[in-house]
Chain A
Amino acid sequence: MSDYLLISVFPCIMEWQKIQKDCKDMKPENKNAFKLGMKHGWPIGVGYFAVSFALGIAARNAGFSALQAGVMSALCSASAGQFAGITLASSGASFAEMALMELIVNARYLLMSCALTQKLDPKLSTGHRLLLSNYITDEIFGLSVTAPGTLNPFYSYGIISMASPGWIAGTVFGVIMGNILPSSVVSALSVGLYGMFLAIIIPPARKNPVIAILVPLSMAMSWFFTNLNNAGILIISEGNRIIILTVVISLLAAVFFPHKEEPSSASSAAEAGQEDKNKTAPESGAAK
Chain B
Amino acid sequence: MKTLYWQYILVMASVTYLIRVLPMTFIRKQLKNRVIRSFLYYVPYVTLAVMTFPAILSATASRWSALAALFIGVVLAFFGQDLMVVSLACCVTVYLAELFL
Contacts and interface: CB of A to CB of B under 8 A. Distances in A.
Nearest to A102: B15
Given A113-B21, A117-B27, A203 B16 contact: no
Given A95-B11, A133-B20, A258-B34, A204 B45 contact: yes
A255 B76 CA distance: 31
A117 B24 contact: yes
Contact of B17 (A68, A134, A196, A218): A134
Determine the main DSSP class of A at the interface with B: helix
B53 to A, nearest CB: 4
Contacts of A204: 45
Interface string B1-27: 101011111011111110111111101
Determine the main DSSP class of B at the interface with A: helix
Interface residues of A, number: 108
Interface residues of B, number: 79
A222 B8 CA distance: 24
Q: Which 10 A-B pairs give the minimum distances between C-beta atoms?
A: A195-B90, A202-B77, A75-B13, A195-B87, A218-B49, A254-B38, A188-B95, A272-B44, A113-B23, A219-B53
Interface of B: 1, 3, 5-9, 11-17, 19-25, 27-31, 34-56, 59-61, 65-66, 69-70, 73-74, 76-78, 80-95, 98-99
